[in-house]
Structure 1
């Protein structure tokens, strides 16, 4: 008999939403937004995360090893004082902190949900970021699911528009280049398609595909509110 806990995914999702239960902080994006996780799960699920965590742990230990005995003693005293005075102090002392500069906080939160809970919802506004994150951190199933979702978005104007807008944040990534190549191929196969769609869409598509649009375009980010989505379960 195989017993499956249907609540496990929800429980794991709850854990990473409570900072006190986590032991690692990712500071994501230019604003260094905190996104939390568990080292053991991250290391077990991804070799890339495992190496990243080990590297930062080694750097932290090396840095601490350079301190004098007096400095270490004073540090211990301050640590004890902070732990007694506030939970915030405890949070900063006990957690490993790793900066993540290349991804948006929302995308990285989605990735953490997938890593810890084994499930995530993909939408046109998030698929480009998730596809690139899956490729960078080595999540093959998520990568394939995102790629399939990209293919389903390309024929639909609103979905493609939202997808192309989000692609402006990830121009330098390998998977973004693949997506834009797929869009170009589709446009070449259906040359009359752009003329059948709105002028704004034609302008957006032309600029994104040519790389002449600036990063951070948000004029049409609301178009996905009623669009399709897909849940991926690992």
Structure 2
């Protein structure tokens, strides 16, 4: 099937109605530094039947799954969408299906750009079809410009979307907080806000004030400035 000509939604929109009820499993820790990741130890449960015979074993290895999903973004050949980030249009790759199920905003954004590509290659005549076939590659990867974010911030954002894990740092927390609000990621927003409330040192506050200057047009930047002023 030609990817750009598909009229199917990425997923049933009804499934996204319950998106707010789901959680990525974010938990805040008391330590200011990042909590160590749990060991990648598979777990299993054996379910016994009413007669006492063990007949079903449930196997789980979420740590390895998370690492594998994060690794996908470093393999462009396995991804089907590329974001051109910042003024230099730094390419960052992702998987449309994963991003669409994690964020309604990304779901709508991806569908919007897919429709634009589809409409741009619809021929009005056989002559135009032949002319466009030499210049348009229907198998090309979907490309979406993201001019307002730093590529380091957006890379962390995509890592979170694909694997449910990310590292909160002073250098990127402002951009991630703004992105969490813009793209409707409540767990990421909460994680960043918990981190921001711990930035009480003068050096940390100055760094936050500097970083917010790059995102003054974003809702999150104004909230950060108000928080810094109260500290």
TM-score by length of 2: 0.70
Which of residues 103, 114, 120 in structure 2 aligns to 1:46?
103
Could you list the runs of 5+ residues in structure 1 that have no partner in the other structure? 80-89, 187-234
Whether contact under 8 Å (2:123, 2:129) holds in the other structure is no
Residue number in structure 1 paired with 2:4: none
| CA distance, structure 2, for counterparts of residue 75 and residue 61 of structure 1 | 12
Residue number in structure 2 paired with 1:204: none
Which of residues 155, 158, 163 in structure 2 aligns to 1:117?
163
| CA distance, structure 1, for counterparts of residue 207 and residue 170 of structure 2 | 6
Question: 1:66 deviation in Å?
Answer: 4.0
Residue number in structure 2 paired with 1:15: 72
Which of residues 196, 200, 203 in structure 2 aligns to 1:158?
203
Which of residues 37, 40, 43 in structure 1 aligns to 2:94?
37
Structure 2 SS opposite 1:120? coil
Residue number in structure 1 paired with 2:130: 73
TM-score by length of 1: 0.69
Aligned: 1:172 with 2:225? no
Aligned: 1:106 with 2:163? no
Aligned: 1:126 with 2:172? yes
Could you list the runs of 5+ residues in structure 2 that have no partner in the other structure? 1-44, 46-57
Paired residues, number: 174
| CA distance, structure 2, for counterparts of residue 151 and residue 51 of structure 1 | 32
Aligned: 1:181 with 2:222? no
| CA distance, structure 2, for counterparts of residue 122 and residue 69 of structure 1 | 54
| CA distance, structure 1, for counterparts of residue 210 and residue 134 of structure 2 | 50
| CA distance, structure 1, for counterparts of residue 80 and residue 104 of structure 2 | 18
Residue number in structure 2 paired with 1:84: none
Aligned: 1:95 with 2:144? no
Which of residues 120, 134, 137 in structure 1 aligns to 2:183?
137
Structure 2 SS opposite 1:99? strand
Residue number in structure 1 paired with 2:29: none
Question: 1:4 deviation in Å?
Answer: 2.7
| CA distance, structure 1, for counterparts of residue 156 and residue 95 of structure 2 | 15
Structure 1 SS opposite 2:121? helix
Structure 1 SS opposite 2:171? coil
| CA distance, structure 2, for counterparts of residue 183 and residue 168 of structure 1 | 13
| CA distance, structure 2, for counterparts of residue 17 and residue 73 of structure 1 | 36
Whether contact under 8 Å (1:124, 1:160) holds in the other structure is no
Question: 1:100 deviation in Å?
Answer: 0.7
